[in-house]
C-alpha cells in the first residue's frame, strides 16, 4: 500500500510537471510564428495527460502485475517525452532560444526521473515474491 | 524491507544530497571560470575605441559578448592605424537583426576586415576550406549551419567558411562578414523589412576599432595621441578594467557558492555522525558477538569501514548522476540567468569532477562514521552485550 501511494503520487507529480514545463515553468518561445517547439509542446501536453491518467490508474489498482504494466508504459512514455524534442518533432534551431536553454533541460530532468522511478518500480513489483494485491 | 536496508538508505540519502550539491557547485564554479577566461582571451585587445557616448553600450561586448548599434566615421580607424606605437588595429561594424530561419532570435552580424583582424580568426574551431569572400561567412558556434554548409540571411544563402569555438556568451550567436558584403546585406535587410538606420546604410562608418599597443609604449601616451589626431570625439574602453569588475562580481558568486558547499559538508557530517551513532548503538551487540567469536577489533573496524566506503560510493554515485542530469543541460540557462559568460565542461571535465566528488563523499562518509565505529569497537564485549537497565 505504502509503495503504491508513494510511487503513484511521484508519477502523478512528474506527469503534472510534464504539462507545466512547456506551458508555464519553462515556457517555449512565444510568438505569432508557430515553430517546432510549439508542436512539441502540444504533443507533450498529450503525453502529460497520459502520464496523469496512468498514475491515477496505478493508484486505484492494487494488483501488482497491473501496476508493473503501468510502470513499464510510463517508462516508455518517459523516453518519448525526450524523443519528441530531440528527434521526432524538434525545437528551434538556435541554441540560445528559450526552448533549448530552459524547456529542454527541464524535460531531460523530468523524463529521467519518470523513467528511473517507473523502471525501478516495475522491476521491484515483478521481482517481489507472492501473487496478487499489495 | 529489512532494518539494514532502511539504515543503508538513511546513510545513502544525505551522501547523495551532498554529492549532488558538490557536483553542481563544482560544475557552476568551473563553467563560470572557463566562460570568463575564454571571453577574456577572445576580446584580445588592449583598447577598444567606440563613438562618443557609446561607452556603456559597448561595455556589454566585454561583459556579455553583446554588441550595440553605434557608429562613427572610418577615418578614426585610418588615423589610429597610422599612429606610431599601435601594434594592431582592426575595425568592426555591428548590425543586430532577427534571424530569417528561426523564431524571433537575434543574430549579431559583424563586418570585419580579414586582413587586419586579430580577434576572430584565431578562434576558428572548424574550417571548411572555403575562401572568405563576400558570399562567405564565419559563423558563431550557436549558429545553425545547414547540411550543405550554408546559412540563409535575409533570403540570401551564404557559404560558411568556418565556425568559431564556443564562448558561452552572445558572441556564439554572431555571424561574421567581410566589409565587402556590407552593402548587399544591408540592402537585403531593407528589402526584407528589417529596420536599418540611416547611418548604418553608409559604407564609410564603423562601430569600433580594436587596438593592441606595441610593447614598451605607454597606453596613456597612445590615448593622448588618438585624442589629439582624431577630429571625431571618441570613448575608450579598457577591457582590463572591465575584466577586474567582472572578476569582482564573479568572486561574489563564488563566495556564495563556497559558503553553501561548506555549510552542506558540515551539516552532512553532523547528520551522518548522528545516523551512524544510532546505527552503531543498534548494532553494538552484533559487533560484540563478532568479537567474542574471535574477530579482532581491527578486523571488525575494517569490515565496518568497508561498509561505510561502499555506502558512500553508492550515495556519491547517485548524487553525481542526478547532478549531471540537472547541471549539465541547465548550463546555458544558468549562464543566462547569472548574466555571465558560462562555458560548460567537456566529457573529460565531467569525469574528473566525478572523481573529485566521489573522493570527497567517501572522506565525508568516513569522517561521519569514524567516532561511532571506534566507540562501539572499543567497548568491552560484556558491556556491549549488557541490556539497557541491566
What is residue B106's three-state secondary structure? strand
Q: Cell 552593402: give the residue.
A: B183
pLDDT in tens, A46-104: 999 999 999 999 999 989 899 999 999 999 999 999 999 999 998 887 777 888 889 99
Q: Which residues of B touch A (CB under 8 A)?
A: 99, 101-105, 141-144, 170, 172-173, 325-326, 329-330, 332-333, 336
CA distance A125 to A11: 15
Chain B CB within 8 Å of residue A105 CB:
yes
Write the residue in B101, B143, B325 that is nearest to A109 by C-beta.
B325
Mean pLDDT of chain B: 84
Angstroms from A121 CA to nearest CA on chain B: 14
Instruction: Give the pLDDT confidence score for residue B102 in this predicted structure.
Output: 40
Q: Which residue has the cell 512528474?
A: A14
Q: Does A24 touch chain B (CB under 8 A)?
A: no
pTM reported for the whole predicted model:
0.76
What per-residue confidence (pLDDT) applies to B63?
A: 63
Is A96–B330 a contact, with Cβ atoms under 8 angstroms apart?
no
pLDDT score recorded for residue B65: 63
Q: How far apart (Å, rounded) are the C-alpha atoms in residues B206 and B315?
A: 57
Domains in chain A: boundaries: 2-127
Residue B389 pLDDT: 52
Residue B103: its pLDDT value, please?
39
Listed ranges A64-68, B4-8, B164-168; the one with the highest mean pLDDT: A64-68
Cell of A71: 510502470
How high is the ipTM of this complex?
0.77
Question: Average pLDDT, stretch B95-100?
Answer: 64
B173 and A95: CB-CB below 8 Å? yes
Instruction: Work out how many CB contacts closer than 8 A connect A with B.
Output: 54
Residue B215 distance to chain A (closest CA, Å): 39
Collapsed DSSP state (helix, strand, coil) of residue B159: strand
As given in the structure block, the three cell numbers for residue B229 are: 589626431
pLDDT surpassing 70 at residue B194: yes
Residue in chain A closest to B143 (alpha carbons) equals: A94
Using a CB-CB cut-off of 8 Å, the residues of chain B touching A112 are 325
Cα–Cα distances in angstroms (integers) from residue B216 to residues B46, B87, B212, B252, in the given order? 14, 11, 12, 35
A104 at interface of B, judged by CB pairs closer than 8 A = yes
Q: Do B333 and A108 touch (CB under 8 A)?
A: no
Amino acid at each position: 500500500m505504502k509503495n503504491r501511494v508513494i510511487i503513484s503520487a511521484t508519477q502523478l507529480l512528474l506527469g503534472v510537471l510534464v504539462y507545466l514545463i512547456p506551458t508555464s515553468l519553462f515556457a517555449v518561445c512565444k510568438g505569432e510564428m508557430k515553430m517546432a517547439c510549439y508542436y512539441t509542446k502540444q504533443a507533450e501536453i498529450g503525453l502529460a495527460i497520459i502520464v496523469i491518467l496512468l498514475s491515477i490508474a496505478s493508484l486505484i489498482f492494487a494488483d501488482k502485475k497491473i501496476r508493473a504494466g503501468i510502470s513499464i508504459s510510463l517508462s516508455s512514455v518517459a523516453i518519448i517525452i525526450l524523443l519528441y524534442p530531440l528527434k521526432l518533432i524538434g525545437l528551434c534551431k538556435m541554441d540560445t532560444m528559450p526552448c533549448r536553454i530552459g524547456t529542454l533541460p527541464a524535460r531531460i530532468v523530468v523524463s529521467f526521473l519518470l523513467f528511473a522511478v517507473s523502471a525501478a518500480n516495475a522491476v521491484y513489483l515483478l521481482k517481489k515474491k507472492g501473487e496478487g494485491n499489495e | 524491507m529489512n532494518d539494514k536496508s532502511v539504515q543503508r538508505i538513511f546513510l545513502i540519502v544525505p551522501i547523495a544530497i551532498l554529492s549532488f550539491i558538490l557536483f553542481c557547485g563544482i560544475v557552476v564554479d568551473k563553467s563560470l571560470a572557463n566562460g570568463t577566461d575564454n571571453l577574456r582571451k577572445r576580446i584580445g585587445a588592449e583598447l577598444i575605441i567606440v563613438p562618443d557616448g557609446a561607452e556603456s553600450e559597448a561595455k556589454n561586448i566585454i561583459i556579455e559578448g553583446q554588441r550595440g548599434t553605434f557608429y562613427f566615421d572610418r577615418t578614426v580607424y585610418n588615423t589610429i592605424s597610422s599612429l606610431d606605437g599601435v601594434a594592431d588595429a582592426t575595425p568592426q561594424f555591428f548590425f543586430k537583426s532577427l534571424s530569417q530561419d528561426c523564431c524571433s532570435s537575434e543574430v549579431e552580424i559583424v563586418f570585419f576586415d580579414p586582413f587586419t583582424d586579430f580577434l576572430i580568426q584565431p578562434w576558428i574551431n572548424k574550417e571548411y576550406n572555403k575562401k572568405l569572400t563576400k558570399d562567405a561567412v564565419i559563423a558563431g558556434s550557436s549558429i545553425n549551419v545547414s547540411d550543405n554548409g550554408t546559412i540563409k540571411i535575409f533570403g540570401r544563402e551564404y557559404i560558411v567558411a568556418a565556425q568559431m569555438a564556443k564562448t558561452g556568451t552572445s558572441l556564439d550567436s554572431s555571424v561574421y562578414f567581410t566589409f565587402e558584403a556590407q552593402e548587399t546585406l544591408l540592402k537585403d535587410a531593407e528589402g526584407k523589412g528589417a529596420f536599418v538606420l540611416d547611418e548604418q546604410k553608409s559604407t564609410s562608418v564603423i562601430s569600433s576599432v580594436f587596438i593592441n599597443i606595441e610593447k614598451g609604449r605607454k597606453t596613456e601616451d597612445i590615448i593622448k595621441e588618438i585624442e589629439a589626431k582624431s577630429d571625431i570625439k571618441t570613448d575608450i574602453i579598457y577591457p582590463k578594467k572591465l575584466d577586474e569588475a567582472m572578476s569582482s562580481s564573479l568572486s561574489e558568486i563564488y563566495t556564495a557558492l563556497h559558503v553553501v558547499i561548506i555549510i552542506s559538508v558540515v551539516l552532512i557530517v553532523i547528520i551522518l555522525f548522528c545516523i551512524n551513532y544510532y546505527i552503531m548503538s543498534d548494532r553494538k551487540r552484533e559487533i560484540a558477538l563478532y568479537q567474542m567469536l574471535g574477530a579482532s577489533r581491527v578486523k571488525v573496524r575494517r569490515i565496518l569501514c568497508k561498509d561505510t566506503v561502499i555506502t558512500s560510493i553508492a550515495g556519491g554515485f547517485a548524487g553525481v548522476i542526478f547532478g549531471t542530469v540537472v547541471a549539465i543541460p541547465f548550463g546555458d540557462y544558468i549562464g543566462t540567468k547569472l548574466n555571465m559568460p558560462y562555458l560548460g565542461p567537456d566529457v573529460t571535465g565531467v569525469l574528473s569532477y566525478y572523481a573529485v566528488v566521489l573522493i570527497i563523499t567517501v572522506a565525508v562518509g568516513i569522517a561521519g562514521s569514524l567516532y561511532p565505529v571506534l566507540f562501539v569497537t572499543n567497548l568491552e564485549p560484556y558491556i556491549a552485550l549488557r541490556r539497557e537497565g541491566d
